[in-house]
Protein backbone atom coordinates (compact mmCIF):
# COMPACT_ATOMS: atom_id res chain seq x y z
CA UNK A 1 0.00 0.00 0.00
CA UNK A 2 2.72 2.42 0.99
CA UNK A 3 4.75 1.58 -2.09
CA UNK A 4 1.92 2.09 -4.55
CA UNK A 5 0.08 5.14 -3.49
CA UNK A 6 0.30 8.86 -4.08
CA UNK A 7 3.42 8.86 -6.18
CA UNK A 8 2.03 6.18 -8.44
CA UNK A 9 -1.32 7.90 -8.74
CA UNK A 10 0.41 11.10 -9.75
CA UNK A 11 2.58 9.28 -12.27
CA UNK A 12 -0.50 7.65 -13.73
CA UNK A 13 -2.26 10.98 -13.92
CA UNK A 14 0.69 12.65 -15.56
CA UNK A 15 0.89 9.83 -18.06
CA UNK A 16 -2.85 10.06 -18.59
CA UNK A 17 -2.69 13.80 -19.18
CA UNK A 18 0.25 13.51 -21.52
CA UNK A 19 -1.53 10.73 -23.34
CA UNK A 20 -4.78 12.59 -23.80
CA UNK A 21 -3.21 15.95 -24.57
CA UNK A 22 -0.44 14.92 -26.90
CA UNK A 23 -0.71 11.41 -28.23
CA UNK A 24 -4.37 11.55 -29.10
CA UNK A 25 -4.23 14.81 -30.99
CA UNK A 26 -2.90 13.43 -34.29
CA UNK A 27 -5.66 10.83 -34.50
CA UNK A 28 -8.26 13.44 -33.78
CA UNK A 29 -6.83 15.66 -36.46
CA UNK A 30 -7.09 12.85 -38.97
CA UNK A 31 -10.73 12.27 -38.30
CA UNK A 32 -11.89 15.88 -38.10
CA UNK A 33 -9.57 17.89 -40.26
CA UNK A 34 -11.87 20.77 -41.09
CA UNK A 35 -13.33 21.91 -37.81
CA UNK A 36 -13.08 20.85 -34.21
CA UNK A 37 -16.03 18.84 -32.95
CA UNK A 38 -18.46 20.20 -30.41
CA UNK A 39 -17.84 19.47 -26.76
CA UNK A 40 -19.38 16.02 -26.79
CA UNK A 41 -21.15 14.33 -29.69
CA UNK A 42 -22.49 10.84 -30.01
CA UNK A 43 -20.48 8.87 -32.50
CA UNK A 44 -21.57 5.24 -32.33
CA UNK A 45 -22.87 2.48 -30.17
CA UNK A 46 -21.77 -1.10 -30.09
CA UNK A 47 -22.77 -4.60 -29.17
CA UNK A 48 -20.31 -7.39 -28.63
CA UNK A 49 -19.50 -10.77 -27.20
CA UNK A 50 -16.33 -12.17 -25.76
CA UNK A 51 -14.59 -14.15 -23.09
CA UNK A 52 -13.73 -12.76 -19.65
CA UNK A 53 -11.20 -14.35 -17.32
CA UNK A 54 -11.34 -13.10 -13.74
CA UNK A 55 -8.42 -12.68 -11.37
CA UNK A 56 -5.72 -14.09 -13.63
CA UNK A 57 -2.99 -16.09 -11.88
CA UNK A 58 -4.60 -15.69 -8.48
CA UNK A 59 -6.45 -18.93 -7.83
CA UNK A 60 -5.48 -22.59 -7.70
CA UNK A 61 -7.37 -24.63 -10.27
CA UNK A 62 -6.14 -28.19 -9.84
CA UNK A 63 -4.57 -30.60 -7.41
CA UNK A 64 -1.10 -29.98 -8.82
CA UNK A 65 -1.12 -26.34 -7.75
CA UNK A 66 -1.60 -24.68 -11.15
CA UNK A 67 -3.12 -21.24 -11.14
CA UNK A 68 -5.86 -19.89 -13.37
CA UNK A 69 -4.59 -18.40 -16.61
CA UNK A 70 -7.16 -18.37 -19.41
CA UNK A 71 -10.56 -19.79 -18.64
CA UNK A 72 -12.99 -17.31 -20.20
CA UNK A 73 -16.63 -16.92 -19.37
CA UNK A 74 -18.98 -15.85 -22.13
CA UNK A 75 -19.56 -12.12 -21.74
CA UNK A 76 -22.02 -9.88 -23.55
CA UNK A 77 -21.24 -6.19 -23.69
CA UNK A 78 -22.44 -2.91 -25.13
CA UNK A 79 -21.05 0.57 -25.36
CA UNK A 80 -21.67 4.15 -26.40
CA UNK A 81 -18.84 6.04 -28.03
CA UNK A 82 -18.51 9.81 -28.09
CA UNK A 83 -16.46 12.34 -29.96
CA UNK A 84 -14.96 15.19 -27.96
CA UNK A 85 -12.08 17.59 -28.35
CA UNK A 86 -8.85 15.59 -28.42
CA UNK A 87 -10.29 12.34 -27.09
CA UNK A 88 -13.04 9.81 -27.67
CA UNK A 89 -14.92 9.17 -24.42
CA UNK A 90 -16.85 5.96 -23.99
CA UNK A 91 -19.32 4.30 -21.67
CA UNK A 92 -19.55 0.52 -21.71
CA UNK A 93 -21.18 -2.23 -19.72
CA UNK A 94 -21.15 -5.99 -19.84
CA UNK A 95 -22.12 -9.12 -18.01
CA UNK A 96 -21.21 -12.76 -17.94
CA UNK A 97 -24.02 -15.25 -18.32
CA UNK A 98 -25.39 -16.42 -14.97
CA UNK A 99 -24.04 -19.92 -14.65
CA UNK A 100 -24.53 -23.00 -12.58
CA UNK A 101 -21.89 -25.68 -12.69
CA UNK A 102 -20.26 -27.89 -10.17
CA UNK A 103 -22.95 -27.03 -7.68
CA UNK A 104 -26.38 -26.38 -9.18
CA UNK A 105 -27.47 -24.59 -6.02
CA UNK A 106 -25.16 -21.62 -6.47
CA UNK A 107 -25.52 -19.05 -9.23
CA UNK A 108 -22.73 -16.66 -9.96
CA UNK A 109 -22.14 -13.98 -12.52
CA UNK A 110 -20.15 -10.78 -12.81
CA UNK A 111 -20.99 -7.53 -14.52
CA UNK A 112 -19.26 -4.22 -15.00
CA UNK A 113 -19.79 -0.62 -16.09
CA UNK A 114 -16.85 1.46 -17.27
CA UNK A 115 -16.17 4.92 -18.58
CA UNK A 116 -13.06 6.57 -19.91
CA UNK A 117 -11.38 7.94 -22.97
CA UNK A 118 -9.70 6.42 -25.95
CA UNK A 119 -7.40 7.52 -28.67
CA UNK A 120 -7.77 6.37 -32.28
CA UNK A 121 -4.88 5.92 -34.65
CA UNK A 122 -5.86 5.82 -38.30
CA UNK A 123 -4.07 2.97 -40.10
CA UNK A 124 -5.79 3.55 -43.44
CA UNK A 125 -9.56 3.21 -43.44
CA UNK A 126 -11.21 1.12 -42.24
CA UNK A 127 -8.25 -0.07 -40.20
CA UNK A 128 -7.61 1.79 -36.97
CA UNK A 129 -5.96 1.12 -33.66
CA UNK A 130 -7.48 2.29 -30.39
CA UNK A 131 -5.93 2.71 -26.97
CA UNK A 132 -8.19 3.31 -24.04
CA UNK A 133 -8.09 3.94 -20.33
CA UNK A 134 -10.72 4.64 -17.72
CA UNK A 135 -12.37 3.62 -14.49
CA UNK A 136 -15.34 1.44 -13.69
CA UNK A 137 -17.22 -0.72 -11.29
CA UNK A 138 -17.08 -4.49 -11.32
CA UNK A 139 -19.73 -6.41 -9.47
CA UNK A 140 -20.18 -10.10 -8.76
CA UNK A 141 -23.50 -11.61 -7.77
CA UNK A 142 -23.46 -14.85 -5.78
CA UNK A 143 -26.74 -16.39 -4.79
CA UNK A 144 -28.07 -19.64 -3.44
CA UNK A 145 -31.37 -21.04 -2.24
CA UNK A 146 -30.06 -22.65 0.93
CA UNK A 147 -30.20 -26.32 1.88
CA UNK A 148 -27.36 -28.56 2.97
CA UNK A 149 -24.58 -30.61 1.45
CA UNK A 150 -23.34 -33.78 3.02
CA UNK A 151 -19.55 -33.70 2.91
CA UNK A 152 -16.66 -35.50 4.50
CA UNK A 153 -15.66 -33.97 7.82
CA UNK A 154 -12.71 -35.67 9.46
CA UNK A 155 -13.49 -39.36 9.67
CA UNK A 156 -17.23 -38.90 9.22
CA UNK A 157 -19.69 -36.99 7.09
CA UNK A 158 -21.70 -33.97 8.18
CA UNK A 159 -24.39 -31.78 6.65
CA UNK A 160 -22.95 -28.38 5.89
CA UNK A 161 -25.39 -25.50 5.36
CA UNK A 162 -25.58 -23.83 1.97
CA UNK A 163 -25.96 -20.05 1.83
CA UNK A 164 -29.45 -18.70 1.45
CA UNK A 165 -29.69 -15.33 -0.23
CA UNK A 166 -27.73 -13.09 -2.56
CA UNK A 167 -24.53 -11.11 -2.14
CA UNK A 168 -23.20 -8.50 -4.53
CA UNK A 169 -19.56 -7.49 -4.33
CA UNK A 170 -18.52 -4.09 -5.67
CA UNK A 171 -15.00 -3.19 -6.76
CA UNK A 172 -13.66 -0.01 -8.29
CA UNK A 173 -11.50 -0.97 -11.24
CA UNK A 174 -9.04 0.72 -13.53
CA UNK A 175 -9.58 -0.09 -17.20
CA UNK A 176 -6.94 -0.42 -19.89
CA UNK A 177 -7.48 -1.66 -23.39
CA UNK A 178 -6.41 -2.00 -26.98
CA UNK A 179 -8.75 -2.42 -29.91
CA UNK A 180 -8.41 -2.84 -33.61
CA UNK A 181 -10.85 -2.02 -36.40
CA UNK A 182 -10.14 -4.53 -39.12
CA UNK A 183 -13.30 -4.10 -41.14
CA UNK A 184 -16.01 -1.49 -41.34
CA UNK A 185 -18.05 -1.57 -38.13
CA UNK A 186 -16.15 -4.53 -36.66
CA UNK A 187 -13.85 -4.01 -33.71
CA UNK A 188 -11.66 -6.51 -31.88
CA UNK A 189 -10.92 -5.50 -28.31
CA UNK A 190 -8.60 -6.66 -25.55
CA UNK A 191 -9.45 -5.06 -22.23
CA UNK A 192 -7.88 -5.46 -18.83
CA UNK A 193 -9.58 -4.63 -15.56
CA UNK A 194 -7.32 -3.89 -12.61
CA UNK A 195 -8.85 -4.58 -9.19
CA UNK A 196 -7.60 -2.78 -6.09
CA UNK A 197 -5.04 -0.74 -8.03
CA UNK A 198 -3.79 0.98 -4.90
CA UNK A 199 -3.46 -2.09 -2.77
CA UNK A 200 -0.66 -4.53 -3.49
CA UNK A 201 -2.13 -7.04 -1.02
CA UNK A 202 -5.02 -8.14 -3.22
CA UNK A 203 -4.46 -6.43 -6.55
CA UNK A 204 -5.74 -8.59 -9.40
CA UNK A 205 -6.34 -8.50 -13.14
CA UNK A 206 -9.20 -9.65 -15.29
CA UNK A 207 -9.03 -9.88 -19.06
CA UNK A 208 -11.79 -9.50 -21.61
CA UNK A 209 -11.32 -10.35 -25.28
CA UNK A 210 -14.29 -9.41 -27.41
CA UNK A 211 -15.64 -8.81 -30.89
CA UNK A 212 -17.90 -5.78 -31.26
CA UNK A 213 -20.15 -4.41 -33.98
CA UNK A 214 -20.42 -0.63 -34.16
CA UNK A 215 -23.57 1.20 -35.22
CA UNK A 216 -23.21 4.81 -36.34
CA UNK A 217 -25.39 7.25 -34.48
CA UNK A 218 -25.46 10.07 -36.99
CA UNK A 219 -24.44 8.59 -40.29
CA UNK A 220 -27.56 9.69 -42.15
CA UNK A 221 -27.76 13.00 -40.35
CA UNK A 222 -24.30 13.93 -41.46
CA UNK A 223 -25.20 13.25 -45.07
CA UNK A 224 -28.39 15.29 -44.87
CA UNK A 225 -26.83 18.21 -43.06
CA UNK A 226 -26.31 21.28 -45.31
CA UNK A 227 -22.74 22.38 -45.59
CA UNK A 228 -22.70 25.38 -43.33
CA UNK A 229 -19.08 26.17 -43.79
CA UNK A 230 -19.11 26.51 -47.58
CA UNK A 231 -19.30 30.06 -48.78
CA UNK A 232 -22.12 30.30 -51.36
CA UNK A 233 -21.74 33.19 -53.76
CA UNK A 234 -25.07 34.26 -55.25
CA UNK A 235 -24.71 36.42 -58.32
CA UNK A 236 -26.51 39.68 -57.82
CA UNK A 237 -28.27 40.94 -60.81
CA UNK A 238 -29.51 44.32 -61.22
Partner 1 sequence: MRFLKLIISGLVFTVIYPAWSFTLNNTVAATFPGNDVPVNVAAHTCNNLGVSNQDLLEMVGDAVNNYWNQAPNSRLRLRKGSLTSVSAAFQTEPGCTSTAGGSCTPNPNLVVSGGILISCNTDTGSPANFSSGVMAVTIPNNIQDRNINGSLILLNDKVDNSFKNKSHDEQVAILAHEIGHGLGLGHSPVEDSLMYYASIPTRRSLGWDDLDGLAYLYPTGQPFSGCGSITLNHDDDESTGQGPGMFAFTMMLGIGLMLGLRRLKTSGLWR
Q: Which of residues 85-114 bind partner 1 (CB under 8 A)?
A: 85-86, 97, 99-103, 105-108
Q: Is 17 in the site for partner 1 (CB under 8 A)?
A: yes
| Ordered alpha helix ranges (H), the chain | 6-18, 24-31, 219-224
Strands 204-216 and 186-195: antiparallel
What is the rounded distance in angstroms from the CA atom of residue 113 to the CA atom of residue 198? 20
Report the nearest approach of partner 1 to the CB of residue 37 (Å). 12
Name the segment binding partner 1 (CB under 8 A); options: 27-35, 58-66, 119-127, 227-235: 58-66
Return the residues of window 159-188 that contact partner 1 according to CB under 8 A: 159-165, 167-172, 183, 186
Within 8 A by CB and 6+ apart from 35, the residues are 229
Q: Is 69 in the site for partner 1 (CB under 8 A)?
A: no
Q: Is 72 in the site for partner 1 (CB under 8 A)?
A: yes
Q: Is 236 in the site for partner 1 (CB under 8 A)?
A: no
Return the residues of window 194-233 that contact partner 1 according to CB under 8 A: 195-199, 201-204, 209, 211
Give φ, ψ of 54 to 5 degrees: -90, 145
Report the nearest approach of partner 1 to the CB of residue 101 (Å). 3
Q: Is 59 in the site for partner 1 (CB under 8 A)?
A: yes
Report the nearest approach of partner 1 to the CB of residue 236 (Å). 36
Report the nearest approach of partner 1 to the CB of residue 15 (Å). 11
Say if residue 90 is exposed, middle or buried (CB neighbours under 10 Å; 0-12, 13-18, 19+): buried
Closest CA to 52 of 177, 200, 169, 172: 177
Amino acid sequence: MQQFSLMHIQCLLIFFLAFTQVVLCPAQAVETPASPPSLLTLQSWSLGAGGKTDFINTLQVDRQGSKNSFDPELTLLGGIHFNAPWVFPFIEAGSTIPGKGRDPNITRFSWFANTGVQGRFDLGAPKALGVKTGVGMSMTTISSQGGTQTLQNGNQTDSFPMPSGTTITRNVIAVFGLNYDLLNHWRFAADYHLFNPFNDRNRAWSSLFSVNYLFDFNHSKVAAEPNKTKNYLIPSEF
